[in-house]
Amino acid sequence: GNSVTQMEGPVTLSEEAFLTINCTYTATGYPSLFWYVQYPGEGLQLLLKATKADDKGSNKGFEATYRKETTSFHLEKGSVQVSDSAVYFCALRGMEYGNKLVFGAGTILRVKS
Amino acid sequence: NAGVMQNPRHLVRRRGQEARLRCSPMKGHSHVYWYRQLPEEGLKFMVYLQKENIIDESGMPKERFSAEFPKEGPSILRIQQVVRGDSAAYFCASSPPVLETQYFGPGTRLLVL
């Protein structure tokens, strides 16, 4: 079945540091890939997405590229801020019938000033 | 345009009671999804509904859990005879036609004493 694996956290960075959160997936065919962010006590917000190989999703300084050859969708940001502290979830939507998302376990990001 | 609404935001029940969680999708969205987030874990798909139809309930526990999305009114996730293991955050998401992005509500945090 479909699955998503994320790097374990927490990830602790200083402000303005470079961020990478690794995400790899297992799926048949060509799934769509997503990054969602969850701030404390809130629901999930879509951060970015990519629907086909080599697509790059980007938003608010975050980027992720859909790599079919390595089945990866790593999240990157060049300079993190304290306000980026949150839990980040990688997810996929497979090609089988239905629209359900399969999530990774989430990675906690803590940014210190 | 209001986002996905969920209520209550917090719900406390004693073992054996019933829990009813409500979800109002975004305006114009006719597809609703329920996910459960156990402590320290990612979100797990439970059920996918359209108006008056259950499309995919492959993630629903076989007993005590049910969901509906009537022609009028919100979607309801119902948990009968709750147990401590049901304590979790329950998130609802909605989307327009299938294969579109899902937008999440703020969640209902259920605590079973």
Over residues A7-52, the pLDDT tens digits come to 888 999 999 999 999 999 999 888 999 999 999 878 899 999 999 9
Give A-chain residues touching B96 at CB under 8 angstroms.
none
pLDDT mean over B94-110? 87
Q: What are phi and psi of B103, to 5 degrees?
A: -110, 130
CA angle B97, B100, B104 (to 5 degrees): 105
Q: Do residue A43 and residue B104 have CB atoms under 8 angstroms apart?
A: yes
Q: Does A103 touch chain B (CB under 8 A)?
A: yes
Q: What percent of chain B has pLDDT over 90?
A: 79
Band (A1; pLDDT cuts 50, 70, 90): confident
* pLDDT value of residue B99: 65
Q: Provide the β-strand partners of residue A92.
A: A33, A102
Give A-chain residues touching B102 at CB under 8 angstroms.
46, 99, 101
Element housing A32 (H / E)? strand A32-38
Q: What are phi and psi of B76, to 5 degrees?
A: -125, 130
What's the rounded Cα separation, in Å, for the pair B54 and A47?
Answer: 28
Say whether pLDDT at B67 is over 90.
Answer: yes
> Are A22 and A76 within 8 A, CB to CB?
no
pLDDT digits (tens, 9 = 90+) for A67-108: 999 999 999 999 999 999 999 999 999 877 667 899 999 999
pLDDT mean over B75-101? 91
Highest mean pLDDT among A93-107, B20-34, B36-50: B20-34
Q: Do residue B102 and residue A89 have CB atoms under 8 angstroms apart?
A: no
Say whether pLDDT at B23 is over 60.
Answer: yes
* pLDDT value of residue B36: 96
Chain position carrying tokens 């019938």: A97
* pLDDT value of residue A97: 65
> Are A33 and A41 within 8 A, CB to CB?
no
Nearest to A100 among B42, B48, B106 (CB): B48
Q: Does B67 touch chain A (CB under 8 A)?
A: no
> Are B92 and B34 within 8 A, CB to CB?
yes
CA A40 vs CA A43, A109, B64, B112: distances in Å: 8, 11, 29, 21
The token pair at B15 is 């073992």
Q: What are phi and psi of A82, to 5 degrees?
A: -55, -35
Q: Do residue A98 and residue B104 have CB atoms under 8 angstroms apart?
A: no
**A99 vs B98 pLDDT, higher one:** A99
